[in-house]
Amino acid sequence: MKLGKQKKIHFPLFFVTVYFLFKSYALSHSGKDFSELFLSDNNIFDYENIKNLIVFGSHYPIDFIKQYELFYERMSHGKKYFDQWNGTNTLFAIYLGANDINDVNYINNNKTINENLSDIINIMFKKIENMYEVGGRNFMILNVFPIDLAPVNDSGKYNYYKEEVLYFNSLLSEKSKTLFNKYSNINVIVYNTHEEYKYILRNSIKFNFKFINKMCKFNRKNKRRNCNKYFWYDRTHITKKGNTILAEDINELLKSINK
């Protein structure tokens, strides 16, 4: 976690770039979902199926770059919703990277995987800096969870995800520090999703999870299971209960910062 010199983040929190875990819990407790304001004209898409891809997302309707463009078009100075947020009361939460890490393994552009991951991080932070330039001052960035521990890797086929995630997260941390040191009036919070997942998995009894390696999603009769005993919902996503634990931890972090 890294904080800027402003020190205070004032509630309510307006999550502008939101991954579905916030929609399942934190938004209902922490503030208003501005995503729905600037995405309202694009409601032909299922909101929770919007993928937060950043570079290799041309086959998805709204990637991170498009989300930024929608924000700028609708919420920068003089635009429709510009008077509903400001740099003091607004926290930009950004959670992406897992899909990109998966996709770079199938991209043939004469670059190494690490070079592609570095490009993704550079573009990501360029857009964050663009948000700063139009008034954003508080940013929370969630790093990537340990994909190698997810059911997608139950056979060990994707063990290489471990090193790729660690590399991506290390770049994210370095860039966050650089951004923090560049401006005197910016707050940059890095939430360690990676370690929180590992903590929950190590302490499954504490959180009342019975199944930490199996996924819940559907049984063979196509009937939904009760997922309360499962950490993983499907091959890479966690259950609503898992998301709630994560969201509550994030809320506690934000409350501690706001004191």
**Does 139 score more than 50 pLDDT?**
yes
The more confident residue out of 35 and 126 is 126
Give the pLDDT of residue 222: 52
Average pLDDT, the chain: 76
Give the pLDDT of residue 221: 58
**What pairs with residue 255 in β-bridges?**
none
Residues 138, 257 contacting (CB under 8 angstroms): no
Give the pLDDT of residue 72: 87
Give the pLDDT of residue 59: 46
What average pLDDT score do residues 119-144 get?
Answer: 92
Give the pLDDT of residue 166: 97
Q: Is 144 left (phi over 0), alpha (psi -120 to 50) or beta?
A: beta
DSSP result, 113-145: HHHHHHHHHHHHHHHHHHHHHTT--EEEEE---
pLDDT (tens digit, 9 = 90+) per residue, 93-106? Answer: 888 888 888 888 88
| CA-to-CA separations, 163 to 13, 58, 208, 221, 256, in angstroms, rounded | 33, 26, 30, 37, 32
Where residue 57 falls among pLDDT bands split at 50, 70, 90?
very low
Name the percent of the chain lying above pLDDT 70.
72
Domain ranges of the chain: 20-192
Sheet holding 138-142, edge to edge: 91-95, 138-142, 187-191
